[in-house]
Amino acid sequence: MKLTQRRISRQGALELSMTSMIDVVFLLLIFFLVTSAFVPPEQQLPAAIKYSLGTDRQTQSDLEPAIIDVINSEAGVIYRLGGVQTADRQVITSSLKGSFDKSAGAFVRVGDEVPFDYPAQLMHECREMGFTTVTYIPLTRSAPSAR
């Protein structure tokens, strides 16, 4: 059995058709152009915080939430709201009624060894006044500094 060698001449060589490959590339290009989302540059985006430069200026209390500290001292439980420090919860609730933005919420920060009913009653009164969110935050003692 004699095996013959097949010779491929230059004239019978395979030719690749580039037309179909060009069609696929253009289809992919069109697909990516159509499905991509173009976002505007950051300079053209609107600001998240809106303010007016007119005569109706907002006070600082309008921009901040109410932060009430409930701490335990030798005299008993003390409530602190900004510069007001008192043992009477009614004083704190009366100062909360008109001076804070209710949509900003209220934070009740509670110190160590404060009985639970003091901050619970205060949080209930904050919700009754119309604060959208009332958050309980435990105050922890800071670690002693290393010397």
Residue 11 to residues 16, 17, 19, 33, 54, Cα–Cα distance (Å): 14, 16, 21, 41, 85
> The whole model's pTM is what?
0.52
Main-chain dihedrals φ then ψ at residue 90, nearest 5 degrees: -65, -35
pLDDT in tens, the chain (147 residues): 566 565 555 566 677 788 989 999 999 999 999 998 877 777 776 666 666 555 554 444 445 778 899 998 888 899 998 888 888 888 888 888 776 778 888 899 998 888 888 889 989 988 888 888 888 888 876 545 444
Angle between helices 117-129 and 89-99 (to 10 degrees): 30
Quote the CA–CA distance of 139 and 144 in Å, as a whole number.
15
CB neighbour list of residue 109: distance below 8 Å, 6 or more residues apart: 67, 68, 69, 70, 137, 138, 139
